[in-house]
Amino acid sequence: MNKNSKIIFYPVDNGNMILLKLEDNTTILVDINIRKKVSDKNEKDFYDVISHLKENLEKDNDDRYFVDAFILTHLDYDHIAGLEDNFYLGDIDKYNDENKEKIIIKETWSSERFWKRETDSITLSDDAKAYNKEMRRRANLHKDDGERIQKEGNRAIIIGDDEDDEGYNNIIHKVGQSTSKVNNQTKSNFKINILGPLEQQENESKKDFEEKNRASVILQIEITVGQYTNKILLTGDAEVDVWEYMQKEYDSSFLEYDVLCVPHHCSMGSLGRKNSEGKYEISDYALEALSQAKEGAIIVSSSKEILNDDNNPPHYDAKKEYLKIVDSKDDFICTEEHPNTKNVEPIIIEFTSGGPQKRLGASKNKIAIARESSSKSIYPHGK
């Protein structure tokens, strides 16, 4: 019996952690928010994402867990938390975890922001700094070795147009390109369209352009089953300016989706701006960019429970806008409300010749955590 490709959205509060597992068992992990176990009077139950993740990973010939690719959308702590504790960093030939619990990243993708150091205005968590160090190690290993593709565990992909890309050419994926390669292997019935981060726009200030969320990697992933192409839109924490740029930059076919992970944990900041009274006004361009839902589309909010209060994101008003897009209220799902707020489980969606299908039932892995958790262009531009 053939297995379907599937996507798993993990319940990680206001964070992001997504696993895409293809029918050939290729695994692509997008962001992580793996919180540390802490025991004190403030502890609460939460879903043990690392155990579930490992249940869905393969092992190599040395009995070590691995992901074929890890894609980091941007450097916010809630998209990279748990890296050092759970993943092996450094030369793969020096893997030294005797218990073989640390996960190997065969290939990692990042925007070119990994070259930049921490500044007074942009602070980085320890995990973010460790990730940047690892990306620099891999990129320089590639350059110093005559631009030869490195062995699994040392591979890197740089997303964007670096001003000084000499020596890195064949590991750069430019925005506006597509690829069917993962871990240097071409996958059938699979394609990643790289939509962002877009270059600095004509009237965009340097300050706005250099914000962490502005650097979010945005991908449209296509998985074809039979005659049907399932489309997934992954959005990072991209804000309203970015979605206005996207709507003007791309034909709508490159923004359409069967599955959307809404930007920035269902924040109104991705759909509009505050007016002089402090109330959000919807941007028609941004809303249009995020409204390209195909029939039967599923929209996922990777966020805490969405309440009608001032503790946001997530914004209740943003949820109301997304509910207008889907065919049924059941097609909008919040990761910390699935299947209910008392017993959360990962959202698992399989891709079929009839489109995406929600799968019921996941293993119940729970541990305790403190409330304070640890921290070549191929498509048209313009319309």
The mean pLDDT of 201-208, rounded to a whole number, is: 91
> Which pLDDT value is given to residue 365?
54
- What's the one-letter identity of residue 302? S
> Which pLDDT value is given to residue 64?
98
> Which pLDDT value is given to residue 38?
54
> Which pLDDT value is given to residue 115?
84
**Residue 81: closest CA among 47, 122, 40, 36:** 36
User: Is the confidence at residue 307, as pLDDT, over 60?
Assistant: yes
> Which pLDDT value is given to residue 368?
40
> Which pLDDT value is given to residue 161?
73
Tokens of 304: 């805490």
Domain boundaries, the chain: 6-370
Instruction: Dump pLDDT digits (tens) for 265-294.
Output: 999 999 999 999 999 999 999 999 999 999
- Residue 309, SS3 per DSSP: coil
The mean pLDDT of 239-244, rounded to a whole number, is: 97
pLDDT band for 49, please (50, 70, 90 cuts): very high
Please report, to the nearest 10 degrees, the dihedral formed by the alpha carbons of residues 356, 359, 365, 366 taken in order: 80
- What's the one-letter identity of residue 84? E
> Which pLDDT value is given to residue 164?
63
pLDDT band for 3, please (50, 70, 90 cuts): confident
Tokens of 110: 């990042």
The mean pLDDT of 45-57, rounded to a whole number, is: 94
Instruction: Dump pLDDT digits (tens) for 254-269.
Output: 999 999 999 999 999 9
> Which pLDDT value is given to residue 56?
98
Q: What is the DSSP letter of 248?
A: H
Interior/surface letters 44-53, b for 16+ CB within 10 angstroms, e for the rest = eebbbbbebb
Q: For 78-82, 365-369, 374-378, which range has the lowest pLDDT when averaged over its residues?
A: 374-378
**C-alpha separations of 149 from 131, 146, 153, 178 in Å:** 20, 9, 11, 19
Tokens of 102: 């640390």
As a 3-state breakdown, the chain gives helix, strand, coil percent values, each rounded to 5, of: 25, 30, 45
Contact 220, 233 (CB under 8 A): yes
What's phi and psi for 219, nearest 5 deg?
-130, 140
Q: Which helix (H) or strand (E) holds 136?
A: helix 126-144
* Range list of β-strands (E), 152-306: 155-159, 172-173, 178-179, 181-182, 185-186, 190-196, 218-225, 228-234, 257-261, 272-274, 280-282, 293-301
> Which pLDDT value is given to residue 267?
98
User: Is the confidence at residue 333, as pLDDT, over 90?
Assistant: yes
Q: What percent of the chain lies above the pLDDT cut of 90?
A: 81
- Rounded Cα–Cα distance for residues 178 and 174 (Å): 9
> Which pLDDT value is given to residue 34?
97
| Higher pLDDT, residue 346 or 381 | 346
Contact 334, 303 (CB under 8 A): yes
**Residue 309: closest CA among 319, 299, 324, 300:** 319
The mean pLDDT of 339-362, rounded to a whole number, is: 92
| Higher pLDDT, residue 120 or 70 | 70
The mean pLDDT of 112-127, rounded to a whole number, is: 83
> Which pLDDT value is given to residue 113?
85
> Which pLDDT value is given to residue 132?
95
Tokens of 8: 């798993």
The mean pLDDT of 121-136, rounded to a whole number, is: 93
User: Is the confidence at residue 369, as pLDDT, over 50?
Assistant: no
- Rounded Cα–Cα distance for residues 114 and 111 (Å): 7
> Which pLDDT value is given to residue 374?
35
pLDDT band for 379, please (50, 70, 90 cuts): very low
Contact 296, 258 (CB under 8 A): yes
> Which pLDDT value is given to residue 163?
57
Q: What percent of the chain lies above the pLDDT cut of 70?
A: 90
Count Cβ atoms within 10 A of the Cβ of residue 119 and give its class: 0-12 exposed, 13-18 middle, 19 or more buried: exposed
> Which pLDDT value is given to residue 376?
36
> Which pLDDT value is given to residue 63?
98
Kindly report the average pLDDT of the chain as a whole number: 91
> What are the beta bridge partners of residue 349?
7, 358
Farthest-apart Cα atoms in the chain, separation = 61
Architecture (CATH level 2) of domain 6-370? 4-Layer Sandwich (3.60)
User: Is the confidence at residue 41, as pLDDT, over 70?
Assistant: no
> Which pLDDT value is given to residue 250?
97
User: Is the confidence at residue 189, as pLDDT, over 60?
Assistant: yes
